[in-house]
Amino acid sequence: MFANFLVPAYFLMLVTFMVMFIHMFATIKIGRPDQVWAKGIPLMPYATAPDNIKIIKNSIQNLFEMPVLYYVMTIFCFIQGLQDQTLIMLSWGYLLLRIIHTGIHLFSQNTMARGLSFVLSNLVLLGMLLGMMRTMH
């Protein structure tokens, strides 16, 4: 499992779905009769959303920003047959850092720790790109 380059990408997709489900359940919860959106979800929901919903929504948005570049690089590596040990380790490292980033985002709001995990995950992406480029002929 740890030798397969695609497995970390699959896990990151699962993390994204988990955060989307958290968002869905939190939104349903505030739609109850005694809650903020008892009359339904407004046309522009972000403006009236409670902070916890905004935090979850921001986390989802983050999972569709830099990770998209990771998915593209993973697809390129797969198509080109690039699957050396360095790229595999970087891929797992990226997954770990994104899980940490998402956890901090959802549960602690420690911006220093979240920023560090963001910077480190982007350095891992850069390492993956450089690793891919070194194989060019």
Find out whether 98 and 121 touch, Cβ atoms under 8 Å.
Answer: yes
Ordered structural domains, the chain, with CATH: 7-133 (1.20.120.550)
Q: What single-letter DSSP state applies at residue 41?
A: -
Which comes out higher in pLDDT, residue 84 or 96?
Answer: 96
Q: Which value, to the nearest 10 degrees, does the dihedral of the CA atoms of residues 124, 125, 131, 136 take?
A: -170
Cα gap 92→110, rounded to integer Å: 23
**Stretch 89-100: mean pLDDT:** 97
In this prediction, residue 136 carries a pLDDT of 72
Which comes out higher in pLDDT, residue 62 or 36?
Answer: 62
Find out whether 75 and 69 touch, Cβ atoms under 8 Å.
Answer: no
In this prediction, residue 50 carries a pLDDT of 84
pLDDT, tens digit, 9 for 90 and up, residues 70-80: 999 999 998 98
Q: Which value, to the nearest 10 degrees, does the dihedral of the CA atoms of residues 10, 16, 17, 21 take?
A: 160
pLDDT, tens digit, 9 for 90 and up, residues 11-52: 999 999 999 999 999 888 877 777 666 666 665 666 777 888
Number of continuous H segments (helices) and E segments (strands) in the chain: 6, 0
Residue 102 has pLDDT above 90, yes or no: yes
How large is the C-alpha radius of gyration of the chain? 18
Least confident among 4-13, 55-64, 93-102, 127-136: 127-136
